[in-house]
Structure 1
Amino acid sequence: MAYRRAILALLVLAGGIFTALITNDGAATPSVEQYYSSVESRLGYWLLLGNARHCGYWPAGILWPFPIGRALRAMEEKLYQRLDLPAGAKVLDAGAGSGVVASYMAKGGLVVQGIDLTPMHVQDAQRVIKARGLSSDQITVRQGDYHDLSDVDSASLDAVYTMETFVHADDPLKVLKNFRRILRSGGVLVLHEADFHWDSEVLQEVLRLSHCQNTLKEGTYESLLEEAGFTNITVDDYTDNVLPLWRLFGILGSVPYDLMRLIGQEKRFTNVMAGVEAYRHWGQGRYISVRATNP
């Protein structure tokens, strides 16, 4: 099964290369919706991650990444544990993607409101919710933007979380202040995100093409959360635990990526570029779980 997935991944790369050569010039900075709606993103997430939109969690030192699905559920469980909430607690999934994470939280007894910018993601999430037999009392997902949460009542939620979506924030401080406003006193914020100290031009280009150009540099999460008014900030480092997936991306994508670089077309393939460059520059950033409290 693992070998079959690897072969299919190579076919997806080939198909993505053909499609990107026709449809994408790699010049303009894409919106979040454009990035996730690209054929390359849609095929890659479907094939390698079962339509999830986040990293898996492996024990440190593991080389073999399969089965990836088990590692994805392990990362979702890490988030669930970091929230540390009783059944019935009301939470916001800020950037719900295909609804996989939100559904996991709902299965664990939380009452989840999900928002996402991309209409395609909202449709995917609604299909996932239905397939998992969840009711509207347990989970809802709608189109929305965490830069504007004016339709969410102040102090109405027990928790807010992001799973690799805060990296897309155009105004991170504004978003954090929005989160704090809708949290009750004692409410929890958990961010599972990457922070970087990439300084090379090519890695900055990766961030631009994936609409992560405002990704926070290493150590900035803590100071920004304090500025937004959060307290009790703790950081768990999962960098070693996500490495197996990025190693897989780096190895699978290396040959097509280098071929595209030879002809100057590598910027057309954002995810291939990100996977290979992140793996080749591993150590210039972290994958972290940040937890903070609204006082």
Structure 2
Amino acid sequence: MTDAAEHRPAYTHGYGAAVLKSHRARTAENSAAHLLPHLRPGMELLDVGSGAGTITAGLARLVGPAHVTALEVSEEAAALTRAELGRQGLGEVEVVVGDAHHLPFADGSVDVVHAHQVLQHVPGPVRALAEFRRVTRPGGTVAVRDSDYEGFRWWPERPGIERWLALYLRAARANGGTPDAGRRLLAWAHEAGFTDVEATSSTQLYATAEGRRAWAGTVAGRVTAGALAEQLAREGWADAAEREEIAAQFLAWAEHPDGWFNLLHGEILARA
């Protein structure tokens, strides 16, 4: 699928309980560390794809909630952001519905655009980055972080984990996404017209009993219920029995004392 695609892609993860439990563990500190040193109170910040709202909340505390706008693709997703911001007493943050390919903001109207795990899901990542650049003031910053699913590594090996990854890659690509987006961010930023780009990477490691169980639990929950499970069943790619077996193997892996799972993320800071 190309940047010319106009339709809204399906969100592969959906908003089921397993997804939200995992996403609500994200914070500005653990998911936007590459951006935080560059933030100052009073900066106007746009958070694209705010989702569960926990990262947005952390960013709002750093620049001031009245200076933050959160954008989501649907009212369903925007409601999740609003609920979390309200729970944290940050109701001054404006939450709007819009398309990352056609941002409803004027040229040069913000100091910072932040997008966490967004570009991997949109059919036109370069176009979205060009929009981020358009709405950012000269000298401002665009900060992006995305996973590279094909760079994930784990031990011990399990055929169910291999099968899960193959199924996820197939589903994400069928939905117009780019699941290895992390490695492409630098190239996409250059293609979008940025010339001053700092590329970094970070990893998220699950190697404690608690961490392994949390990661295995969210994968098991996603593969047996919710948007991904429904897509796999609808397309005939994995029936209920196979999906239950994948979940069981993940949960068994989590109990192994040598269990180790590393998630690779790419990051960029691009100057407008």
Could you list the structure 1 runs, at least 4 aligned residues long, displaced by more than 6 angstroms after superposition: 198-201, 253-258, 266-269
Match of 2:73? Answer: 117
Give the CA deviation at 1:179.
0.7
Shift of the 249–267 alpha-carbon distance from structure 1 to 2, 3 Å rule, reads farther
Distance 1:148 1:171 in 2: 11
Shift of the 89–219 alpha-carbon distance from structure 1 to 2, 3 Å rule, reads same
Distance 2:177 2:260 in 1: 17
The answer to whether structure 1 residue 165 and structure 2 residue 118 are counterparts is: yes
Give the CA deviation at 1:195.
2.1
Asked if 2 retains the 8 angstrom alpha-carbon contact of 1:253 and 1:272, the reply is no
The answer to whether structure 1 residue 265 and structure 2 residue 240 are counterparts is: yes
Per-residue Cα deviation, 1:57-104 (whole angstroms, up to 9, x for no partner): xxxxxxxxxxxxxxx45315615515x122111111110112221121
The answer to whether structure 1 residue 31 and structure 2 residue 6 are counterparts is: no
Distance 1:160 1:125 in 2: 17
| AA aligned opposite 1:265 | A
Distance 1:98 1:184 in 2: 27
Distance 2:243 2:139 in 1: 45
**Where do 5+ consecutive residues of structure 2 fail to align?**
1-8, 153-161, 233-237
Distance 1:232 1:162 in 2: 18
Give the CA deviation at 1:183.
0.8
Give the CA deviation at 1:116.
0.7
State the Cα RMSD in Å: 3.8
Distance 1:92 1:254 in 2: 30
Alignment of 1:103-252 (within 5 A): 103-110=57-64, 111-136=67-92, 139-149=93-103, 151-197=104-150, 203-210=165-172, 211=175, 213-216=177-180, 219-239=183-203, 241-244=204-207, 247-249=212-214, 251-252=216-217
Give the CA deviation at 1:162.
1.0
RCO (CA 8 Å, sep 6+): is it higher in 1 or 2? 2
How many residue pairs match? The answer is: 229
Shift of the 221–80 alpha-carbon distance from structure 1 to 2, 3 Å rule, reads closer
Per-residue Cα deviation, 1:236-258 (whole angstroms, up to 9, x for no partner): 3212x344587435544788979
Shift of the 267–230 alpha-carbon distance from structure 1 to 2, 3 Å rule, reads farther
Match of 1:74? Answer: 29
Distance 2:205 2:136 in 1: 29
2:50 aligned counterpart, secondary structure: coil
Kindly indicate which of the two structures has a greater share of residues assigned to helix: 1
**Where do 5+ consecutive residues of structure 1 fail to align?**
1-29, 55-71
Match of 1:21? Answer: none
Match of 2:267? Answer: 289
Distance 2:28 2:181 in 1: 27
Match of 1:11? Answer: none
TM-score by length of 1: 0.63
Asked if 2 retains the 8 angstrom alpha-carbon contact of 1:99 and 1:141, the reply is no
Give the CA deviation at 1:127.
2.1
1:180 aligned counterpart, secondary structure: helix
Shift of the 268–171 alpha-carbon distance from structure 1 to 2, 3 Å rule, reads farther
Give the CA deviation at 1:217.
5.1
Distance 1:128 1:216 in 2: 29
Match of 1:44? Answer: 18
Identity of aligned residues (%): 18
Distance 2:243 2:45 in 1: 37
Shift of the 94–266 alpha-carbon distance from structure 1 to 2, 3 Å rule, reads farther
Per-residue Cα deviation, 1:168-206 (whole angstroms, up to 9, x for no partner): 111111111111111111111111211244698863530
